[in-house]
A and B are shown apart, each in its own frame.
Chain A
Amino acid sequence: MTELGNLALAIALILAVYSIFANIYGARRNAPDFVVSARHALWSMCAMVTIAVVVLWVALLRSDFSLEYVASYSSSTLPTVYKITALWAGQQGSLLLWTWLLAIFTSVAAFQNRRRNPETTPYALAVLAGVSIFFLLMLNFVTRPFDLLATIPAEGSDLNPLLQNYWMAIHPPSLYTGYVSASVPFAFGAAALITGKLDDGWIRSTRRWAIFSWFFLTLGNLFGARWAYEVLGWGGYWAWDPVENAAFMPWLVMTAYLHSVMIQERKDMLKVWNLSLIGLAFGLTLFGTFITRSGVISSVHSFTQSGLGPYFLSFLIAATLAYTGLLIFRSKQLRSPAEFESYLSREAAFLFNNLILVGITFAVFWGTIFPVLSEAVRGVKITVGPPFFNRVNAPLALGLVFLTGIGPLIAWRRTSADNLIRSFATPVVIGVAAGIVTAAAGLRQWYVLTAFSLAAFVLGTVLVEFRRGMKARRHMMSESRPRALVNLVAKNNRRYGGYVIHVGLIVAFIGVVGSSFFRTEVKKSVHSGDSFTIGSYTLRFLGFTQLDTPHVVSATARVEVLGADGREITVMTPAKLFYVRAQQPATEVAIRSTPLSDLYLVLAGIDDGGETATFEVFLTPLVFWLWAGGLLMVLGTVIVMWPNVRERAAIAAAMSRSSTAAARELADSAAPGSD
């Protein structure tokens, strides 16, 4: 079996190399046969990598401990679902998953473009094959997933207990999907640079990829935060750890990209900027893997460290140099004739939103690599912790929130004072009112007041937009209110889906502000029967329940929760676990979540032979809204990505008239912001 895995990876590498040459030769010599052959090679490569993945999965499911990977990350008592997720628990498996996703996305892109973009597609596929080659080289020669052990152990050393969790099962695949799918727009951008076809064709043909990537980056970050919240047991969800930052930075850059491409599509500006952003996004996905895997920067999440660092760094530097070289080479052709006309225009709002997003990215990058830099330059390691990131990003977040409200409502080119007043009068009133209510409620920190006012302002702008759109429909089509709402969103899914994403972002932002500013914490050692209070809750420790299984031994504390009126609300059961195979303790947090606040209970210690329990309790207001907002963002993205039937039909009709120009015309008219 394992020979099959190794063989499949070797063949995949050969096919990837072949497809580069066939693609480039086919494109340069105008030999379509070679381009077709290259495409088939990529599909076969995908099949080979799939075989390798299946082989590893089978080995994990059969607990074949002759494989070093299986012995290191699984055990016979590991629940089946975690045997499956163990595929991406270790380095070799993670890289294999990465390569697999890349192979799948490359194949899909090859299929989508089998008749489209004949000049650029071969080069884009060659770039994607080039990226595959790097990963396949790693898998074939540096970090091999199918290496065997000299002596077969009777039992595996088990999956890290921290990873035996639902969120950790789905977090890495989501994040990787987001990371890897960013390669497709990058490859088409690079192809545009190589071929000199520098119009916005590459953006249009990869727009869905960009949104798809953003969608999964959002999910990946949310799942990761949720995992940290439920598993790490410190009451928070984000610690600005290097690996968290590595997942956050591509998200920031992709967010900037999704906004700035609208300016290019609309105004034919910012060509260099867009090409740079997608290059940066791609580079940051590699950088993310580099810092996760290299151990250069110590992190909570570096579950594996290895000598992969230099390879990744070399590839990253080579890719950056090549791409920058291309940008410089084409710089003359990339000049835009158009100019910004006014500060009071949508393109200006988008430009500033981009600057802030990239600024946040830079600040996060700087804080992440500073220990390494300071050691290299001054010979002493200096770190910056969460306070650094919070201090820099908190004001920038306010600016971003403000622009989230301005951008969608302000007109392209320039806006008249009249227009401004009409669009923003109501939202400003809502924002000010929210500020007054916040202050009246006794919250006087300037940041909280500003944040809540701005958030209300943005929600107000979206409200105004929805109302305006519905009103128009009700007038023109005489539809009922709910009908008008549904049709409004369905017929303009990109635009209104975008608004839903904005609302989600603002709701999540409220959750972040609330949980950061108003968290309270109590630490207490108590005997069974004793009680203590946090906020309006009274907690009484009732005692322990012991549970032994071959996989895990646990002690669960039963804690009765009483409300302000002294009535019992619930019994919470935080636990201490001990994973037998991994020989590792772990903590299971108990959370009682309400829209107002989360009661978060950690069993921090057991002493005096089970007589005393130490609890760490957090009362975190509004954190519920972070997850709710995240869910809304996901929903909004689904609306944006939903195939628009009308638009599809129109494009298909145009295609059948065999006029691609007409199809593009229509695709243009369906683009966001064009209404």
Chain B
Amino acid sequence: MNIRPRFFIGAGLIILAIGYLIGNAMRSTSEYYLTVAEVAARQSELGGQSLRVAGQVKPGTIEWDPNTLTLKFEIVPIPDLNAAGEPVKPVVATEPVTFRVVAAGEPKPDMFAAGRDVIVEGNLGAGGVITATQVMTSCASKYKPKRSQ
């Protein structure tokens, strides 16, 4: 007597359930991971979507209010580095794209400073302002999340 097919049904159901869970979770939780330049290029289609943006803190734009825990700054694209680790000068000098970031209710990350590479998680609103839920700083290749979720 061969009862094997019944097991394929059971195993198949489990596999289908796992597949469904993955697909379902993908639809509801995925977010774009973009550079500042890419955000600029796709600005029109990104409105209101959650995204992660990698950029650099523009010096002289940081405002930090410890009483309301509000951090405001602007991000610009991370310059390409040459082999020696120096920024490559663009061939055509253009005004770099800039987005304003507002993060409220979160403490300022330890390593946050002008010129640092950061990853901002949040939504792109009207007027190119990113409302951030999380700001992660990176130092060389080290990322340190202040908070997850």
Say yes or no for A612: interface residue by CB 8 A criterion: yes
Complex interface: chain B residues within 8 A of A370 (CB) = 26, 30
Identity of the chain A residue whose Cβ is nearest the Cβ of B138 in the assembled complex: A298
Residue pair A388, B143 in contact (C-beta under 8 Å):
no
CA distance A370 to B28 in the complex (A): 14
Q: Give the secondary structure class of B's interface.
A: mixed
| Distance (whole angstroms) from the CB of A272 to the closest CB of chain B | 14
Could you say which of B15, B26, B106, B110 contacts A388, with CB atoms under 8 Å apart? B26
Q: List 14 A-B contacts (CB under 8 A).
A: A162-B142, A235-B147, A299-B143, A300-B144, A303-B142, A305-B141, A348-B10, A352-B10, A356-B14, A356-B18, A384-B30, A387-B29, A388-B30, A614-B107
> Does A198 sit within 8 A of B, measured CB to CB?
no
Chain A residues closer than 8 Å to B24, beta-carbon distance: 391
Q: Which residue of B lies closest to A240 (CB)?
A: B148
Q: Is the CB of B31 within 8 A of A614?
A: no
Q: Once bound together, how far apart are the Cα atoms of A392 and B121, in whole Å?
A: 22
Complex contact B106–A523 (CB within 8 A): yes
Give the interface size bracket for A toward B: 35 or more
Inter-chain CA distance A162–B110, complex, in Å, is 12
Check A587 against B110 for contact (C-beta < 8 Å): yes
Chain A residues in 8 Å Cβ range of B29: 384-385, 387-388, 391
**The stretch of B1-9, B74-82, B83-91 that contacts the partner chain:** B1-9
B7 touches A386 (CB 8 A): no
Measured CA separation A232–B110 after assembly (Å)? 11
Chain B: how many interface residues by the 8 Å CB criterion? 46
| CB <8 Å contact, A382 and B33 | yes
In the complex, besides A382-B31, A392-B22, 6 extra interface pairs with C-beta distance below 8 angstroms are: A236-B148, A304-B141, A305-B141, A356-B18, A391-B25, A608-B66
Contact B3 A342 (CB under 8 A): yes
Query: Which chain B residue lies CB-closest to A602?
Result: B107
Tell me if A642 counts as interface (CB < 8 A to partner B).
no
Q: Residues on A close to B: CB < 8 A?
A: 160, 162, 232-236, 239, 295, 298-300, 302-305, 339-343, 348, 351-352, 355-356, 359, 362-363, 366, 370-371, 380-388, 391-392, 395-396, 523, 525, 576, 584-587, 602, 604-605, 607-608, 612, 614, 616
* Residues on B facing A (Cβ under 8 Å): 2-4, 6-7, 10-11, 14-15, 18, 21-22, 24-26, 28-34, 38, 52, 64, 66-67, 69, 105-108, 110-111, 119, 121, 139, 141-149
Residue of B nearest to A608 (CB): B66
User: Which residue in B3, B18, B33 is a CB contact (below 8 Å) of A396?
Assistant: B18
Docked complex Cα distance between A288 and B105 (Å): 35
What's the least CB distance linking A353 to chain B, in Å?
10
Q: CB distance A584 to B25 under 8 Å?
A: no
- Distance in angstroms from A605 CB to nearest chain B CB is 5
- Say whether B66 contacts A371, CB under 8 Å: no
Q: Give the distance to chain A from B53, nearest Cβ to Cβ, in Å.
A: 11
Does A384 contact B26, Cβ atoms closer than 8 Å? yes
Chain A residues with Cβ under 8 A from B145's Cβ?
Answer: 232, 234, 239, 300
A576 and chain B: residue at smallest CB distance? B110
How far, in angstroms, from A348 to B38 measured CA to CA in the complex? 50
Chain B residues positioned under 8 Å from A380 (CB to CB): 32, 34, 38
Residues on A with C-beta less than 8 A from B148 are 234, 236, 239, 385-386
Q: When the two chains form their complex, are residues A359 and B107 in contact, meaning their CB atoms are under 8 A apart?
A: no
Check A355 against B4 for contact (C-beta < 8 Å): no
Contacts of B32 in A (CB 8 A): 380-383
The answer to whether B108 and A605 have CB atoms under 8 Å apart is yes
A388 with B7, Cβ < 8 A, contacts A234-B146, A359-B18, A584-B139 known = no
